[in-house]
Amino acid sequence: MIITESKGGLGLTSNETVSFGGAIMAFEEFHSPDKYYRMTPEEFVNQELNFNLKERMKAAFNVYNQSERINNYLRNSLELLFFNGKLFQYKEEAERSYRNTTDKVESNYVASEPDASYYSFLNQYELTPQHLYCFSYSGFIKAFLSIKAFDIPTVGNTSIKVWIDEVKGRIKKVLKIDSELFYDLLAANSFDLQLSYENKPLTKTQIANITNYYSTQNSAIATVLLNQNSQLIEKLKSSQDLKVKNTPNVAKEKLMDTLIAGYKGKVVLVDFWATWCTPCADAIKKIRGLKEALKEKDVVFVYIANPSSPKKVWENQIKIIGGEHYYLTADEWSFITEQFEFNTIPTYLIYNSKGSLKDKSIGFPGIKKMQALLENVLQE
């Protein structure tokens, strides 16, 4: 993730920080009953900017109202958050509102994808250097890169200057963005998507392009990207035991028994997780050290996900997890959650070397307890 920090931070006290978080929550929780599926993209953006954004801001500043400096920071951050999470999502919002309505007139409603002119509303908001410090800036930039109407290519091995010129050509008829820093960060976040989302290291050409382009301007960006690349390479080295396994072709009632039988003679930790699950990701990071500590022991780490994790995202994330991975169907997952009586993740099952279930933990129990559970089973 490309992060820019302001010198000295915002200088918030602990009480102010709590209130600040409350303001963001009030902004995000504002609910509008609008029937978006009845609106054109233009009607949607007018409704959101001229009414709902103002109401959201009122809700936020009812919770938090401090100095002009901090208020401006919060306002800028919330605007970018709103663009990314709402205005860039017309198609999704329209289809969601249709699914939730009771006056459906057709079962296969599909909202239109806004054309490039839809995004001209961004011209009302000048992206200043102050926006770089906003907590929502990185998300905004990444969402901008994914706007279908602009069809912005990934930077890949293309010269950064050539890529930026191409991006400018794609958006210039609609948007008047002159900030060179904006485009530099756009390129940086394209690289970041490769590193953080695809878990794909930079090529030699990309490293040379980054080093050369940012050598005379915004050199800190090159430092961040190259450090990120080095860290990713180390993660990939520690995950070389990665195996993507085929789900046993048996009746779902026999699925887990058959799966575990393949590891006879070893202790098995089964981790039910998802790519979108933050507690799952946090636990996986903590367990990485435990895997290293037990690598000489007969312990297998098995990870099970389902289609709620998009297949491509799942394939990218498991690159830095390692272990043995299964991707179940929704029906298989549903049966197993009923069989083992859990409906939240992460959930863990520990089996002994004979294939008997010895422990179930709903939620991550902590690294010390997890290690103790595994070592106890190893001693059987």
How far is residue 323's CA from residue 326's CA, in Å, rounded to a whole number? 10
Read off the DSSP letter of residue 48.
Answer: I
Q: Are 305 and 273 in contact (CB under 8 A)?
A: yes
Q: Which two tokens stand for residue 293?
A: 């500590």
Q: Which two tokens stand for residue 47?
A: 């409704």
Q: What is the mean pLDDT of residues 134-141?
A: 91
> Which of these ranges, 103-107, 281-285, 322-326, has the smallest mean pLDDT?
103-107
Per-residue pLDDT at 359: 96
pLDDT bucket at 294, cuts 50 / 70 / 90: very high
Question: pLDDT digits over 34-66, tens only?
Answer: 789 999 999 999 999 999 999 999 999 988 777
DSSP 229-296: HHHHHHHHHTTTT-EEPPPPSS-GGGHHHHHHHTTTTSEEEEEE--TT-HHHHHHHHHHHHHHHHTTT
How far is residue 141's CA from residue 83's CA, in Å, rounded to a whole number? 10
Residue bearing the bigger pLDDT, 28 or 158: 158
SS3 state of residue 124? helix
Going from N- to C-terminal start, the domains of the chain cover 1-133, 150-237, 243-378
Q: Do the strands 324-327 and 347-351 form a parallel or antiparallel pair, or are they unpaired?
A: unpaired
Q: Which two tokens stand for residue 59?
A: 């809700």
Per-residue pLDDT at 131: 83
How far is residue 211's CA from residue 118's CA, in Å, rounded to a whole number? 36
H or E element: which one contains 358?
strand 357-362
Question: pLDDT digits over 260-276, tens only?
Answer: 999 999 999 999 999 99
pLDDT bucket at 258, cuts 50 / 70 / 90: very high
Q: Cα torsion for 198, 202, 203, 207, to the nearest 10°?
A: 160
Per-residue pLDDT at 8: 41
Q: Cα torsion for 257, 315, 1, 151, to the nearest 10°?
A: -150
Write the single-letter amino acid at 69: R
Q: What is the mean pLDDT of the chain?
A: 90
State which CATH number among 3.40.30.10, 1.10.10.10, 3.40.50.170, 3.20.20.210 fits the domain covering 243-378.
Answer: 3.40.30.10
Instruction: Flag whether pLDDT at 18 surpasses 70.
Output: no
How far is residue 159's CA from residue 209's CA, in Å, rounded to a whole number? 6
Q: Which two tokens stand for residue 366?
A: 């902590």
How far is residue 283's CA from residue 365's CA, in Å, rounded to a whole number? 9
pLDDT bucket at 3, cuts 50 / 70 / 90: very low
Taking the model in full, what pTM does it have? 0.78
Per-residue pLDDT at 227: 97
> Which of these ranges, 1-15, 190-204, 226-240, 292-306, has the smallest mean pLDDT?
1-15
Percentage, residues of the chain above pLDDT 70? 93
Q: Quote the distance between the C-alpha of residue 341 and its chain's center.
A: 28
pLDDT bucket at 6, cuts 50 / 70 / 90: very low
Burial of 344 (0-12, 13-18, 19+ CB in 10 A): exposed
Nearest alpha-carbon partner for 37 in 110, 121, 118: 110
Question: pLDDT digits over 211-245, tens only?
Answer: 999 998 889 999 999 999 999 999 898 888 899 99
Per-residue pLDDT at 217: 85
Nearest alpha-carbon partner for 147 in 87, 78, 80: 87
Over its C-alpha atoms, the chain yields an Rg (Å, rounded) of 24
Per-residue pLDDT at 2: 52
pLDDT bucket at 15, cuts 50 / 70 / 90: low
Percentage, residues of the chain above pLDDT 90? 74
How far is residue 341's CA from residue 339's CA, in Å, rounded to a whole number? 6
Residue bearing the bigger pLDDT, 118 or 238: 118
Q: What is the mean pLDDT of residues 87-106?
A: 84
Q: Do the strands 243-244 and 324-327 form a parallel or antiparallel pair, or are they unpaired?
A: parallel
How far is residue 2's CA from residue 141's CA, in Å, rounded to a whole number? 10
Per-residue pLDDT at 239: 83
